[in-house]
Structure 1
């Protein structure tokens, strides 16, 4: 694994018997023995994920806010106070998704922000940041010296408070999508936010790399289970959350991957990709080719997988097709589920099928509105 990048938690993964795999060039654990047990720990108790491969970029300058207003599709004016977080797509000139990211407001003056973005898209993200920054008074500083640990599950806050009693009051006061600087409580460069990628309560902690392994050990000693990439994927899929490269990419419009709610189009703000996005959406609706994102449920035997074709109204004059972008066996529901892009015109009355083995033997699947599971509870009838 010497050719891979190690996160600051690498030794912790080895000590906890993590099975290390290559994830976008990073050596990360797929599991520590049982993916199912780790999944269930997060749904019912508390687990922790190493997400230090994510890219943290600090933004400062008198035009930092103006730069963000051009860079991303959501509206930075929604960040009404220090610590507030905003989820948004960053689009290309054609209206496709370069990446999805989170922006935090870091000061009162609206001159300091933080972006957390995906590891697999690091190079093109930073290139887009710098391209859009031309002409703006803004400085971009990547923070590779920081580590990041997600602590997720219904007992995540209570167990983290037990491990770090000095944080308890701050953690209890944190509302969803709000972060807090822990410098005065803990030390410089410690930050916590009530965000996550599992559909459960919890936080993500940013901390100095040299404190990573001791922090991991402390949380493990307080009953927070080490959790790998495998459980992270089944948890996020059950929660109906996109994975970049599967459910969205530069060829996919935000409207096609359930990110339409992140588009701030009510004012005239000229963010990158806006004009193409609006024009393509109008054209696809007029042509009857517009797509939408849905959940698929297979309650019979078999597993839905990414890349499988979804057929709607097979054998009729109204036959159409879509595609599965993510699919798996759901540990919480004990049958297969998938995220798919299908024609916008599809209704719940339409017959939807998938050829599981590519041999012309189609099985019926149900179409539901995402998510499948949130806060440990099934979200559909």
Structure 2
């Protein structure tokens, strides 16, 4: 995810012109300027009249959301060490969750609560494949309580609130709806590591650099996702709460989370692929290639030929995965979500495939995804 570096003058100029892009990430103030975009804590303490249901959710959650300040990250503008920032929130009495990309490459991480309190932290675990990180905190204010992670993925159309610190402006909340679910989000990240995050929620609440790592909450005050990125044009993304519920406990206990792994290159079967492979209809995923010495090696077959159609390569002859462990697989996003939320390394599962025009079932023992993307 491309990071954004701004000083106060450029932020104000862009805001005045309405040019601020909705691209979330880790806002990185240049260390040599010493500029901070923190809001006034007295604003939070004073009486505010009126309000709404959104106000009630804000008041219930804001004390548990923190500003993340990362020290010692590489500053590409100066070639030296700089600072980064993002958001985080409490998940238990002494741990916060944020994005892995927010803290990646940092030497020290401090947090600031909305009441003005600062605390030092210790990084206890990260996972690049879900873009999640957990920090143990030295201090938690009395008024800050852990936020609850939802057990299920929210329905499309559900109202959500994005809470965090865009551009370091503390305690910001924006409102929108869930625009889509079960997305797979491919990004490069600050360190240039290509990866794809599964089970991602799409939403339209405004997010900007500094929102990353903050909570996306519903009107019950439950966290439905950890804000990861924004793509502009009112599109934001968040790592789902169900995935977060799986990953975070492992990061706290072991410092790592082990993702299941098949070892294939795949592609969703669209109309063109279906026609070129004499399939009755689109649907499923075709195995384009099988990596050597992986769980799929000797079990699944990749394509052995390809044709070009409208400038795009079309794989020919690979296995088409239709189900895994009785879960239908209509596309690659679904396969990614099923693997991530339902399975673990070491599981042996039946895989229904179409091979050479015939339906068959093979047994596949899942491996552990390599630690580096």
TM-score (ref. length: structure 2): 0.27
User: Which structure's residues are more often strand, by fraction?
Assistant: 2
With a CA cutoff of 8 Å and minimum separation of 6, indicate the structure with the bigger relative contact order: 1
Larger Rg: 2
TM-score (ref. length: structure 1): 0.27
